Amino acid sequence: MIELKPINKMSSPILQPEEHVLSTLESDGSRRWLKPKLSKGVLLFRRRVLAYVLIAIFTVLPFIKIGGKPFILLDIPAREFTVFGFTFLPTDTVLLAIFLVGLLLSVFLFTTLFGRVWCGWACPQTVYMEFLFRPIERLFEGTVGRGGHKKKVASWRVAAKYVVYFVLCVYLANTFLAYFVGVDRLSQWVTQSPLEHPIPFAIMAAVTFAMMFDFCYFREQMCLIACPYGRFQSVLLDQNSLIVAYDENRGEPRGKLKKKKSQTDALPILGDCINCGNCVTTCPTGIDIRDGLQMECINCTQCIDACNIVMEKIGREPDLIRFSSQAKDSGKASSLLRARTVIYPLLLLGIASAFLAVFLLSKTFDAVVLREPGNPYTRTDEGQIRNILKLKLTNRTDEAMEFTAVVQQPANAVLQFSEDEVKIAPRETKTFHINIVAPPESFELGRANLEILVQNQNQVSRTLKLKLIGPYN
């Protein structure tokens, strides 16, 4: 438990924690602004290449089409999600649920194996912050060292930085929107006045504002306090997961390098860490990796690059900070075969099989018959019993479909459609009002079994069943 003690009993009633609570919090509770120093090394080079590839992918993805359909389109108003060219319709709840559970399990498995590599290497938050917004900041404000201590920067430079940020955020907000509305609709909107489409414009403005807030102000707080994936690390990692770790056996006791003043001068025996602090000032979340595994570590590997530069300068072996695992650090044998790495793939296999089975069994069209609210039945002038129902048809193919429907049971019952032509456009759902008119003798104890045969132009058919309501014979 953290003990609180007064900062200064005479002057301040504020209580101060005995230890550092958050890497981005000053002891008086104010925000500690981080300006991490860039450490150029081989890992930064790899991350940079990956980041720019990912930015390019994120930008072009909405433009890519497979068989005339978008590669990805999350059409929320139409309740249709297209992923890898396959469209999940509102009736595909089971498929979508299986897909999402599979996605979640894949994340669990990936994290168990590779720790937070996603956070430091591929998450859009880190990619855009570290490889787009931060370089622009360094360009306008110079490289500021010692994580958090600002140097005086001309106000025109700060203003210019925000102008560039704003342009980038507008562009990113439009890219983001393209995933939800598609590039065709978006390019129409971009060329029209905002007054012609005020709601999409308001959404774009809100996303721009959210991005400005994130990349200008919130920054590393997204990883530290807002992102649920970050918060779940403690349960997702195990002893063998990949982590960034400091080799304590080799580094400690740490101490500044000292030169011998004379041959007889006895220097203390120190580890390889010269306590230069470079691994701390380069850290984008402001932590000291030498304190051990921390939830704030996003595996960005900047501390590895920073320390390797120092080790090279002082002529020592690299990798005092390196990729490791808790098992490896405590001298235990690492194993790829463990409960989680067996259970997760098995579950994933089950999920993939279930997805495939549901997918292969899914039909070319869905048909549902439902009762309309209101009177259970009415009598026609001829004394026949009329039930008012609705027939909901979903065309799951990419071609228009025509349907016919006939009553198979009860005998002599007739189906009357509200429309002459039962035609449905590709990937559309339409509801038709229908009347079933049946002779009164079809009913027994107020009920009669209804069976409707619905068939499309390719003779694919479904039989729909329902209980008709009628007189109590």
Query: Site residues (CB under 6 A) for ligand SF4?
Result: 244, 246, 251, 254, 273-279, 282-285, 287, 289-290, 297-303, 306-307, 310, 320-321
Q: Which residue, 212 or 273, has its beta carbon nearer to ligand SF4? A: 273
- Whole-angstrom distance, CA of residue 48 vs CA of residue 131: 7
Closest distance between ligand SF4 and the C-beta of residue 263, in Å? 27
- Judged by DSSP in three states, 406 sits in strand
- Whole-angstrom distance, CA of residue 52 vs CA of residue 41: 17
Q: Which residue, 253 or 426, has its beta carbon nearer to ligand SF4? A: 253
Q: Which residue, 246 or 443, has its beta carbon nearer to ligand SF4? A: 246
- Which residue(s) pair with 378 in the sheet? 386
Closest distance between ligand SF4 and the C-beta of residue 224, in Å? 10
Question: What DSSP state is assigned to residue 36?
Answer: P
Closest distance between ligand SF4 and the C-beta of residue 315, in Å? 13
Closest distance between ligand SF4 and the C-beta of residue 316, in Å? 9
* Phi-psi label, residue 142: left if phi above 0, alpha if psi -120 to 50, beta otherwise: left
* Residue written as token pair 């300068």: 313
Is the separation of the CB atoms in 25 and 32 below 8 Å? yes
- Judged by DSSP in three states, 182 sits in coil
Structure tokens, 67: 């068989």
Question: Smallest Cα–Cα separation from 161: which of 177, 139, 190, 131?
Answer: 139
Structure tokens, 202: 């308001």
Is the separation of the CB atoms in 125 and 222 below 8 Å? yes
Is the separation of the CB atoms in 35 and 129 below 8 Å? no
Q: Which residue, 165 or 246, has its beta carbon nearer to ligand SF4? A: 246
Dihedral pair phi/psi, residue 232, rounded to 5°:
-85, 0
Q: Which residue, 267 or 346, has its beta carbon nearer to ligand SF4? A: 267
Closest distance between ligand SF4 and the C-beta of residue 51, in Å? 14
Residues whose CB falls within 8 Å of the CB of residue 148, separated by 6 or more in sequence, listed in order: 32, 33, 34, 35, 286
Closest distance between ligand SF4 and the C-beta of residue 130, in Å? 10
Q: Which residue, 127 or 298, has its beta carbon nearer to ligand SF4? A: 298
Closest distance between ligand SF4 and the C-beta of residue 57, in Å? 23
Q: Which residue, 73 or 297, has its beta carbon nearer to ligand SF4? A: 297
